[in-house]
């Protein structure tokens, strides 16, 4: 009886841990539409995202996604994960805002620009703060893929 109880606890913990992190692709994040919205503070129009239900379901979840690391401003802790390398990223007109993720690391990052990395963190959706990206991963950790 005791062995059955321990087995059930182990099974529960294993299944909980395996579902607590979700591996996603850039295709998952592409389900977003945009409208132009005026932001008086900047006297400019910005793309205002409307996230699909499938994307909204990812908010607050721990996810892992693979992409190109962009070391934009290490002194300001500005790191980005991009669907494409620096030469063809969102800033160069090669995609929309849904092809980049702002990374907020738990510890210092040692990756270099254009390293292919798998990043894990808690996804935050941002539709109002133009100082940050539409997708933000908090408490990031990462591993070099290639």
| Greater pLDDT, 138 or 46 | 138
Going by pLDDT thresholds of 50, 70 and 90, the confidence category of residue 97 is confident
Name the token pair of 126: 């941002």
CA atoms within 13 A on the CB side of 49: 23
Cα(119)–Cα(105) distance, rounded to whole angstroms?
10
Tell me which H or E stretch contains 44. strand 44-51
At 96 the pLDDT is 81
pLDDT single digits (tens) 75-91: 888 899 999 987 666 55
What count of Cα atoms within 13 Å lies in the side-chain half-sphere of residue 129?
A: 9
Rounded Cα–Cα distance for residues 64 and 14 (Å)? 18
Which of residues 4 and 143 earns the better pLDDT score?
A: 143
Alpha carbons 72 and 86: distance in angstroms, whole number:
10
Is the pLDDT reported for residue 65 higher than 60?
Answer: yes
Mean pLDDT throughout 113-127?
A: 96
Q: Confidence class of residue 104 from pLDDT cuts 50, 70 and 90?
A: very high
For the chain, the domains span: 20-144
Structure tokens at 114: 């254009």
Q: Residues 20-144: name the CATH superfamily.
A: Protein of unknown function (DUF3299) (2.40.50.870)
Q: What is the pLDDT, as a whole number, of residue 81?
A: 96
Q: Given a cut of 90, is residue 2 above it in pLDDT? A: no
Average pLDDT, stretch 48-68?
97
93-122: burial string, b at 16+ Cβ within 10 Å, e else:
eebebbbbbbbbbeeebebeebbebebbbe
- What per-residue confidence (pLDDT) applies to 7? 44
Average pLDDT across the chain, whole number: 85
The rounded distance, in Å, linking the Cα atoms of 143 and 111 is 9
Cα 27 to the center of its chain, rounded Å: 12
The predicted-structure confidence for 5-34, as pLDDT tens digits, reads as follows 444 444 444 444 444 679 999 999 999 999
Q: What is the pLDDT of residue 91?
A: 57
């Amino acid at each position: 009886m005791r062995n059955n109880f321990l087995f059930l606890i182990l099974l529960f913990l294993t299944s909980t841990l395996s579902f607590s992190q979700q591996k996603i692709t850039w295709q998952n994040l592409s389900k977003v539409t945009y409208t132009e919205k005026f932001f008086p503070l900047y006297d400019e129009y910005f793309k205002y995202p409307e996230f699909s239900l499938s994307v909204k379901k990812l908010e607050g979840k721990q996810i892992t996604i693979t992409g190109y690391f962009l070391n934009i401003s290490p002194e300001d802790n500005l790191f980005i994960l991009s669907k494409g390398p620096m030469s063809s990223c969102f800033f160069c007109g090669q995609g929309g805002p849904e092809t980049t993720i702002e990374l907020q690391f738990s510890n210092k990052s040692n990756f270099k620009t254009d390293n292919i990395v798998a990043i894990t963190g808690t996804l935050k959706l941002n539709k109002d703060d133009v100082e940050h990206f539409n997708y933000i991963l908090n408490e990031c950790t990462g591993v070099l893929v290639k």
